Amino acid sequence: MERQVFHVEARFKGRVQGVGFRFQTLHVARGYEVAGTVQNLPDGDVLLHAEGAEREVSEFFDAVCCEMKAFIKDVEKKTFFAPACARGFRIIP
């Protein structure tokens, strides 16, 4: 059986594109043992997927929210356990 890891999928709403959100998220990710992606969506939102140990992912998510709070109006977040599917953390263009 594949090892289950903690996942966060979050959709950030607000003035989150054109303000360096993805690049700052990538920078924050370097301080945590997380894998995943961050990408701009056509409707102006930003989608974040992060996975790893529950504590690392939760602390990473909180750090992103704190770092970018001036631009975030709302966050739709879901968490779940599933097999790991990402390697490293990257921006999806």
The verdict on whether 11 is a catalytic residue reads: no
Please tell me the predicted confidence (pLDDT) of residue 1. Answer: 64
From 11, 15, 22, 55, the catalytic residue:
22
Closest C-alpha to 29, from 78, 80, 2, 68: 68
Q: The pTM is what? A: 0.95
The verdict on whether 40 is a catalytic residue reads: yes
Which strands form 46-52's sheet, in the order they lie side by side? 72-83, 4-14, 46-52, 34-40, 89-92
Please say whether the beta carbons of 92 and 41 come within 8 A.
Answer: no
Judge whether residue 2 has pLDDT over 80: no
Say what percent of the chain tops pLDDT 70.
99
From 40, 55, 87, 90, the catalytic residue:
40
